[in-house]
Every structure is written in structure tokens, then in C-alpha cells.
């Protein structure tokens, strides 16, 4: 008898695309809040590790097309990072909201019926959550993965909705609320995956460090980063505080 995970995985055929929202690993462009407490080489190295482990997570799904959406200026750098195994597509416009709009405009236009945009810094997310998100799109118009801080780590849809990300408060505690308001205005039936966390501030790093000490295989490159920079991260828990 199949487990729920196996059933979900089987439902993801060639009509499923997972699009990782990414930037080139450049100082001042990625993990800017962490840059307030980590040296620049550590921040860039962390982003590279999170990104590489996220791509590995995506590849583990099977029967799912994988792509990267990024600012046009970052295409060449990301192509050098991922090679020719993953397509890299330049977004139209500036900012994350424009990138998300570009994801659904581009990939639903190519005939993909279930498209999910996923952040580049949650490689510790169980693969079963992504599988359940694709499965939800079989019966709903949209699926959202909420974060504990009021944002979201993934959003999926079966069609392009140009106004879905208008005036989106990306990076704020109202991002999820705003997305839900616009989804309701568009009369989209919406499903949710389990709440999770991404890596934005010091507390997130402390939590991820503890998890990967117990299960480094979940994100091996990021676990290796903690082996190098772990002493500095440990100081956060001794009173440096939030960013």
C-alpha cells in the first residue's frame, strides 16, 4: 500500500514545474539582514550553500521540471553555478514581486499546468511538503506555504494572475496577509502547506544549526558551512540578539 508521500509524488508528472527564486551570490544583494552580524565572506558562502542544497532538494522530487527565475543581470552568474541541468530564466521587471509575476506568466504560457515558486533558502524543508503542494494544485487554484514571520516560502498556481503580487509587501510581516487578500479578490480557491521558516535573521540560523547537527544530510553543504562558521553563530544565542 502506498504512503501519502508516494501518492503525492506519483501525482507530479511532467505538468509540474518548481521554480527557485534566486539571485547571484554578490555582496550587498543576498541575505542583507544577516550581513549586519556576519562578515561578507560568510554571508556569500552561506547563500551559495543554501542555494545549492535547495537545488538538490528540488532535484530529489523526480518527475518535476526545475527552473530558476532571477534578475536579468544575474543570469550568467547563476548559469555558471548550476550548469546546463537547470534552466535559468530572466524575470521581467525589478524586485521579487515582479519575479513572482514573471514565474507564472512564463511557465503557464509554456503549457505547464502546476507551477510553484519556491525560495532559495529552505533546503531543510521536507520534500514531502513540496510534493503535497503540487498535489494540492490538482484541485485548487493556488497553494501557499506560510512562514512563521508572516511571509511565505512558496506560492503555486495553475494560471497567471497579473495582479496577485501587486504592491506586495515582500519581506514584511504583512506579506502573507496581503497575498491572501488579493487571492480572495481574484476568487482563487487556495490550499496551504505546513508553516515553516526560511533563513533571514540570526534566530533562523540558530534554529537551522541545531536541526542540522541532528540531521546534516538534510542540507549537507549548509551543514558544512556551520562546521566552519558555527562558533560565530553560537555567539548569537549567548546574547547578541535578533537583527
Q: Would you state the cell numbers that stand for residue 79, as one nine-digit string?
A: 548559469
pLDDT, position 240: 42
Give dist(CA 235, CA 6) in Å, integer: 41
pLDDT, position 172: 62
pLDDT, position 237: 61
Give dist(CA 88, CA 85) in Å, integer: 10
Q: Are strands 114-119 and 16-21 parallel, antiparallel or unpaired?
A: parallel
pLDDT, position 170: 61
pLDDT, position 110: 76
CA atoms within 13 A on the CB side of 181: 10
Whether 123 and 54 have beta carbons less than 8 Å apart is answered as: yes
pLDDT, position 168: 62
| Mean pLDDT in consecutive groups of 10 residues from the start of the chain, 243 residues | 42 78 94 91 97 96 94 96 93 93 92 90 95 96 94 95 79 82 96 94 93 96 95 70 36
pLDDT, position 30: 94
Q: pTM value?
A: 0.89
Pick the CATH number of 4-199 from 3.40.50.880, 3.40.50.2300, 3.90.550.10, 3.40.640.10: 3.90.550.10
Query: Scanning the structure block, which residue is given the C-alpha cell 514581486?
Result: 97
pLDDT, position 44: 97
pLDDT, position 238: 58
pLDDT, position 242: 38
Measured from the Cβ of residue 15, the count of other Cβ atoms closer than 10 Å reads 18
Whether 175 and 169 have beta carbons less than 8 Å apart is answered as: yes
Q: Which of 103, 111, 83 is nearest to 21 (CA)?
A: 103
pLDDT, position 62: 85
Whether 175 and 150 have beta carbons less than 8 Å apart is answered as: yes
Amino acid at each position: 500500500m502506498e504512503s501519502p508521500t508516494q501518492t503525492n509524488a506519483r501525482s507530479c508528472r511532467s505538468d509540474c514545474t518548481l521554480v527557485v527564486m534566486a539571485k547571484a551570490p554578490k555582496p550587498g544583494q543576498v541575505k542583507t539582514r544577516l550581513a549586519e552580524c556576519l562578515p561578507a565572506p560568510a554571508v556569500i558562502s552561506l547563500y551559495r550553500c543554501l542555494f545549492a542544497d535547495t537545488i538538490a532538494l528540488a532535484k530529489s522530487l523526480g518527475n518535476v521540471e526545475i527552473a530558476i527565475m532571477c534578475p536579468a543581470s544575474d543570469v550568467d552568474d547563476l548559469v555558471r553555478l548550476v550548469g546546463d541541468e537547470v534552466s535559468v530564466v530572466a524575470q521581467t521587471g525589478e524586485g521579487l514581486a515582479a519575479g513572482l509575476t514573471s514565474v507564472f506568466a512564463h511557465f503557464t504560457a509554456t503549457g505547464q499546468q502546476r507551477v510553484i515558486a519556491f525560495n532559495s533558502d529552505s533546503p531543510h524543508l521536507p520534500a514531502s511538503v513540496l510534493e503535497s503542494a503540487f498535489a494540492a494544485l490538482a484541485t485548487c487554484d493556488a497553494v501557499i506555504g506560510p512562514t512563521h514571520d508572516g511571509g511565505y516560502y512558496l506560492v503555486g498556481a495553475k494560471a497567471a494572475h497579473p495582479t496577485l503580487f501587486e504592491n506586495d509587501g515582500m519581506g514584511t510581516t504583512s506579506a502573507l496577509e496581503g497575498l491572501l487578500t488579493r487571492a480572495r479578490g481574484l476568487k482563487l480557491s487556495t490550499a496551504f502547506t505546513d508553516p515553516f521558516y526560511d533563513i533571514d535573521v540570526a534566530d533562523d540560523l540558530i534554529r537551522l544549526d541545531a536541526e542540522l547537527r541532528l540531521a546534516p544530510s538534510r542540507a549537507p553543504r549548509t551543514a558544512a558551512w556551520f562546521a566552519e562558521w558555527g562558533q560565530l553563530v553560537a555567539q548569537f544565542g549567548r546574547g547578541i540578539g535578533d537583527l
